[in-house]
Amino acid sequence: MHHRAPIQSKLDIDALEATARAKLPRMVYDYYAGGADDELTLADNRAAWDRYALLPRVLVDVSERELSTSVLGRTLAVPFAVAPMAYQGLAHPEGELATVRAAGAVGAPLILSTFATRGIEEVMAVATGPVWFQLYAFSDRGATRALVERAAAAGASALVVTVDAPLLGNRRRDTANDFSLPGDLGVGNLDGLEVPGGSAGVSGASLAAYFGQRVGRSLTWDDVDWIGSIAGLPLVLKGILAAEDARLAAAHGAAAIVVSNHGGRQLDGVPAAVDVLAELVDACAGAVEVWVDGGVRRGTDLVKALALGARLVLVGRPVLWGLATDGETGVRHVLEGLRDELDLALALCGCRRPADLGRGHVRPAAGSGMR
């Protein structure tokens, strides 16, 4: 990347969120923005990045820079991806189609949720970059197998299995609003799928009820082995916080883990992902790639994650705010803005590429209480 001109990011994610909030029905905004219980983890996800300070190196030639990174054995143009987020059709009529086009424009992979409003085939048809499939494994193995095979046949190039949601977290805002999907929105990936309990009931039904009846509560490491054996795709486990689970993930053949608390939407009171990141990187000792998400809103947050050892960073809600505000253009604005901020922060750290970042570039911020 040759940036001769100054890099001026106009990205203001808080302002975008305010615009999205004004446009969206309350029920939808709360579903997107909210977290579980007292939203302690949700708030900490944002605050945590500020507890780390950057320590730049100087007098490094940063005239030529490169943001590309090796992930799952292939080269990505940027070291970030769009996190799996359900029901994007609530933000914009084009839903995931707009998101995947914007992601492709910056070369960021899109992770398509099991509960996407658009099905994987429709998304692949307009995709110009990698699409990975996020799996909520069903209690019923036949249904799970059908979904995995469908995603692989459609061209998904990795399977991201979410492991932090055997039950849905207690999302008080959704209960208060009686959150449900409008009848005219479907869940494309479940069309035609034989799920015991039926898939037709997704629309209209409350999310918690649907989830509770069909998504597997009994999932164990044996199921991870089984899913790995049927997928034929690199396996990523999303939602790991404990070092021992990171080691188990490596032992069970995962190619990557996502250090994540599900955007504060599952168990409230758990640490921000960034606070356990270095420990999990050390625990895995290079056996798996370590990815991270939660509360990333600035290029400097991306730099901190990469410096602490993350290979890839997932970006969640900012994408929804861009989508709600201005569809594909809005998502592009968010992803291009983050890319430009990352490029600038990297250069100012004295690094030419993400792989140049290391632990020496980050330390506890003064007053963070960390030693």
Residue numbers at the binding site for ligand FMN (CB under 6 A):
31-32, 45, 83-86, 113, 115, 134, 162, 238, 260, 262-263, 265, 293-296, 315-317
Structure tokens at 189: 């990936």
Within 10 A of 184 (CB to CB), how many other CB atoms are there?
7
CA distance linking residue 220 with residue 192, whole number of Å: 27
CA distance linking residue 133 with residue 236, whole number of Å: 10
The residue (of 56 and 201) whose beta carbon lies closer to ligand FMN is: 201
Has 333 been annotated as catalytic? no
CA distance linking residue 233 with residue 158, whole number of Å: 5
Cβ-closest residue to ligand FMN? Answer: 316
Helices (H) and strands (E) in the chain, counts: 13, 12
Classify each residue of 17-28 as buried b or exposed e, where b means 16 or more C-beta atoms within 10 Å of its C-beta: bebbbeebeebb
CB burial class (10 A; 0-12, 13-18, 19+) of residue 8? exposed
The residue (of 32 and 138) whose beta carbon lies closer to ligand FMN is: 32
Q: How far is the CB of 131 from ligand FMN (least distance, A)?
A: 14
Q: How far is the CB of 60 from ligand FMN (least distance, A)?
A: 30
The H-assigned helical ranges of the chain are 13-23, 26-33, 40-50, 96-106, 120-126, 141-154, 172-177, 207-214, 221-231, 243-251, 273-284, 299-307, 317-348
Q: How far is the CB of 71 from ligand FMN (least distance, A)?
A: 17
Q: How far is the CB of 371 from ligand FMN (least distance, A)?
A: 27
The residue (of 44 and 356) whose beta carbon lies closer to ligand FMN is: 44
The residue (of 86 and 362) whose beta carbon lies closer to ligand FMN is: 86
Which among 92, 262, 333, 361 is annotated as catalytic? Answer: 262
The residue (of 117 and 162) whose beta carbon lies closer to ligand FMN is: 162
Query: What are the φ and ψ backbone dihedral angles of 335, each rounded to 5 degrees?
Result: -70, -40
Q: Using DSSP bridges, classify how beta strands 256-259 and 289-293 pair: parallel, antiparallel or unpaired.
A: parallel
Q: Under DSSP, is residue 120 helix (H, G, I), strand (E, B) or coil?
A: helix
Residue type, 170: N
Q: How far is the CB of 273 from ligand FMN (least distance, A)?
A: 8
Structure tokens at 190: 């479940």
DSSP type of residue 206: B
Q: Distances from the Cα of 166 to the Cαs of 7, 251, 317, 329, in angstroms?
A: 43, 21, 22, 35
Q: How far is the CB of 296 from ligand FMN (least distance, A)?
A: 5
Classify each residue of 71-80 as buried b or exposed e, where b means 16 or more C-beta atoms within 10 Å of its C-beta: bbeeebbbbb
Indicate the length of the chain as a whole number: 371
The residue (of 35 and 228) whose beta carbon lies closer to ligand FMN is: 35
Q: How far is the CB of 319 from ligand FMN (least distance, A)?
A: 8
The residue (of 62 and 106) whose beta carbon lies closer to ligand FMN is: 106
Q: Which residues have a catalytic role annotated?
A: 262
